Copies of this chain bind each other. A is one copy, B any other.
Amino acid sequence: MKALTIGKVAKQAGIGVETIRFYERRGLLEEPPRNDSGYRQYPPEAVVKLRFIKKAKQLGFSLKEIEELIALRHKQDATCGDIKAQAEERINNIEERIRDLSKMKEALVELTRQCSGNKGPVTECPILTALEPTGEDP
């Protein structure tokens, strides 16, 4: 009697209807029971689960990782430490991405530092010549 249609769930979770069906196809969300007309009948917990997915995504977890997290939660012998390990892997991953981005940034900052940024011709721009060390155009 408290079953929700997909539209209600979508609104309450702040996610699109199509996206929910996509998550179901992906295996991220279990298939809910259907009524006589074939409409999905979601228990209220579905909203909770979708919000979980949404938050995890905001923390940078991929759908695949979220799937693993959910699977872990359902395993009887999974421990808190398993989850923590997962989160720590995520942190390491994020740190690596930050390091990569910082390297890119430093290289670019160095290039712009060398560039006067004035009205000089493009052919003399140190940014381009740095990218194209031996280069001229056809």
Chain A residues within CB distance 8 Å of chain B: 30, 43, 45, 48-49, 51-52, 55-56, 58-60, 69, 72-75, 78-85, 87-88, 90-91, 94-95, 97-98, 101-102, 104-105, 107-109, 111-112, 115-125, 127-128, 131-138
Contacts and interface: CB of A to CB of B under 8 A. Distances in A.
Copies in the complex: 2
Contact of A128 (B30, B73, B108, B137): B73
A132 B52 contact: yes
A80 B115 contact: yes
Contacts of A132: 48-49, 51-52
A80 B117 CA distance: 5
A72 B122 contact: yes
